[in-house]
A and B are shown apart, each in its own frame.
Chain A
Amino acid sequence: MELEGRWRDLDYLLNRQGNVVGPGFEPGPEIREFLQSDCRVLVVGAGGLGCELLKDLALSGFGCIDVIDMDTIDVSNLNRQFLFRMQDVGQSKANIAAQRIMQRISGVKVTPHHCMIQEKTLDFYEQFHVIVLGLDSLEARRYMNSVACSFLEYDEDGQPDLATVKPMIDGGTEGFKGHARVLIPGITPCFECTLWLFPPQTKFPLCTLAETPRSPAHCIEYAKIILWPKERPDDTFDADCEEHMRWMYDKALARASEFGIQGVTYQLTQGVVKNIIPAIASTNAIVAAQCTLEALKLVTMCSSGLNNYMMYSGTDGVYTLTTPYERDDKCPICSAGVSFDAAPSTTLQELIDMLMKDPDLGKHLSAPSVSYGSTNLYMRGALEQQTRPNLEKPISELVDGDGSVIHINDRQLVAAMKVRLKFGPSNGEMDS
């Protein structure tokens, strides 16, 4: 049974033309049908932002949602991760979140994945029309960025092949500040294009921690960096293990009292060790709402999307600013790279010579190194001797086949250059 008028507002957007609709938008009931039955959306992270995202997406008409999170529910999550209850503590965030959404919102299917994002293959990620990130670490964002960009192919004219574009929406919050951004690989900047947007974590000098601690955080960091490896060298510290955290707290407290420093608490210890900035429920709600709206716009084209980064600040009133960041055309992750014809029998040395003689590529190269994924085929510098034998080998032996992407490094390049190898006929075949 459908609540009367449930989709009224959505239908206003999807069934009518307008002045701000996206390119090619043709209003009609099929759009909502697509949204509810065929469109697949993945939410990465079922924490503070993830709970909001799941609720917003489900209520906005997305009918087929997947959610992935490796974490289990902690009692400290309950104030803002509103899908979870006291009795859920210790259980999988993804599983419980999926259950709760389906209990409360009819007609939505949420499929949970209680695992690390790295455990899923590219096939898994490939099935989604859009991926929405509700993460709290740059590392996980960069991983998802590599995933989304790994599908990307460019056509002969260097334009992204739209069938291979995997769009992502990224939300992030830190206290009263947050952002929403739209990442369309090949079209808007990826995380690596704008890595500088993420300020490095503030770190204290080691000697301050060791000799002249002045704040509770110094004492906690000391326990974590110096005391743990010294006193428990065989244990890997696990921030989610209560005994470990308790140990850290006790050591920090002892350190603080030794130096007459006030203010080390268990909660602060957790905060410093996990690098937690207090999460504000309203920031999560605002950012998730924006992300959901962008996901809706992207898949329905009912409005042009955000271009391409919105920052929100709630510290002094409510402030937002949208900035159209630009792609880095040298980005080793999302740039087009170049296609290069070579016969499979070409040796690596011959390939390097050919690259250097190429009128376009050659001018960027003085002493190139070549790698293929993690495999270092020929490296100058520290691995020159070890990789030199590969120079004599045919490239067909070194890469997986036609279309393999190799990376070229050179002092003259700011970052690795992608080269897609096109195996033409080998010399012998050409003669016959």
Chain B
Amino acid sequence: MIRLFSVREKQKKDAAAAANGKTVKQSAGELRLQKDISELDLPKNVSIRFPNGNDKIMNFEITLKPDEGLYKGGAFLFTFAVPTGYPHDPPKVKCVTKVYHPNIDLEGNICLNILREDWKPVLSISAIVYGLTYLFLSPNADDPLNKEAAAMMQQSPAQFERVVSQSVARGCSIGGEFFPAARGDRSG
């Protein structure tokens, strides 16, 4: 334990802390996100964009172009909103390109465990990008967010494959809902 205050000498104001008028420059969450971003080496089929400029990184967009699997040929846009509580709290991620996928609903909510129940502060943006890539490679009908898509995937995989590739490539209606071609724009 140290003696911080000398009562007898009163407190002499220290000029060193030049605090005039400033607020805290940066949240600890942003400081950690800078580390993530500086280490984020994206595979060729993934790109990132910072719509508010290089110095406002808490909101950004990721475009994923699956190079394998059912969704190959499509481009899907995700918005990332990183809270100041990062990495204690996970980023909020939405898929804003409308997609027929068992784990993504029509509002763009994504059922990916590391975005919610299995998020841990040691994880990073990179881990989420890999998680999303995997989700498009291997949709999981056991944890459905789009029940109809999950049911079709399980009961008639051939039909599921057909409608997915059709919706991704040219756009089509599935069960009364129109899915425009997946060109990486906001269509949700």
Contact residues of A with B, CB < 8 Å?
22-26, 30-31, 34, 38-39, 118, 120-123, 125-126, 129, 138-139, 142-143, 145-147, 150-151, 153, 161-165, 167, 184, 187, 192, 195-196, 198, 200-207, 210-211, 225-226, 229-230, 298-301, 304-305, 307, 332-333, 369, 371, 373-376, 379-383, 386-387, 407, 409-411, 413, 415-416
A146 to B16 CA separation, bound complex (whole angstroms)? 17
Binds A, one of B28-36, B69-77, B179-187: B28-36
Contact A192 B19 (CB under 8 A): no
Q: Name B108's closest neighbour in chain A (CB-CB).
A: A229
Contact B24 A150 (CB under 8 A): yes
A162 to B11 CA separation, bound complex (whole angstroms)? 11
Contact B28 A129 (CB under 8 A): no
Binds A, one of B115-123, B131-139, B157-165, B170-178: B115-123
Among A146, A151, A200, A206, the residue within 8 A (CB) of B19 is A151
Could you tell me which residues of chain B, from 68 to 120, have a CB within 8 Å of some CB in chain A? 83-85, 88-89, 103, 105, 107, 109-111, 113, 115-117, 119-120
Contact B119 A198 (CB under 8 A): no
Contact A226 B14 (CB under 8 A): no
Q: Name A202's closest neighbour in chain B (CB-CB).
A: B117
Contact B54 A383 (CB under 8 A): yes
How many Å from the CB of A87 to the closest CB on chain B?
A: 35
Given contacts A22-B3, A38-B10, A206 and B25 within 8 Å (CB-CB) = no
Q: Name A298's closest neighbour in chain B (CB-CB).
A: B4
Query: How many B residues face the partner with a CB closer than 8 A?
Result: 64
A387 to B34 CA separation, bound complex (whole angstroms)? 13
**15 extra interface residue pairs, beta carbon distance < 8 Å, beyond A196-B121, A225-B109, A374-B30:** A38-B10, A38-B11, A123-B21, A139-B85, A142-B84, A142-B88, A146-B24, A150-B19, A195-B88, A206-B145, A207-B103, A298-B4, A333-B31, A374-B55, A381-B41
The total of interchain contacts (Cβ-Cβ below 8 angstroms) comes to: 203
A26 cross-chain contacts in B, Cβ below 8 A: 8
Contact B145 A211 (CB under 8 A): yes
Q: Name A297's closest neighbour in chain B (CB-CB).
A: B1
B3 cross-chain contacts in A, Cβ below 8 A: 22-25, 301
B121 cross-chain contacts in A, Cβ below 8 A: 195-196, 200
Closest 9 CB pairs of A and B: A369-B38, A122-B19, A373-B25, A207-B143, A163-B14, A381-B40, A206-B111, A24-B3, A207-B111
The binding surface of chain B is classed by DSSP as loop
Contact B116 A386 (CB under 8 A): no
Q: Indicate the member of B7, B12, B32, B41 with the most A CB atoms within 10 Å.
A: B7
Contact B27 A153 (CB under 8 A): no
B21 cross-chain contacts in A, Cβ below 8 A: 121, 123
Contact B20 A192 (CB under 8 A): no
A30 cross-chain contacts in B, Cβ below 8 A: 7-8
Contact B105 A126 (CB under 8 A): no
Contact A381 B39 (CB under 8 A): yes
Q: Name B15's closest neighbour in chain A (CB-CB).
A: A163
Contact A333 B30 (CB under 8 A): no
Q: Name A163's closest neighbour in chain B (CB-CB).
A: B14
Is residue B155 within 8 Å, beta carbon to beta carbon, of the partner chain? no
How many Å from the CB of B50 to the closest CB on chain A?
A: 7
Contact A371 B27 (CB under 8 A): no
B12 cross-chain contacts in A, Cβ below 8 A: 163
A202 to B55 CA separation, bound complex (whole angstroms)? 32
Show 19 residue pairs from A and B whose CB-CB distance is below 8 angstroms, ordered by the A residue. A30-B7, A122-B19, A138-B88, A139-B89, A142-B27, A142-B29, A145-B28, A192-B28, A204-B116, A205-B113, A205-B117, A226-B105, A307-B1, A375-B55, A376-B34, A376-B54, A380-B38, A382-B42, A410-B38
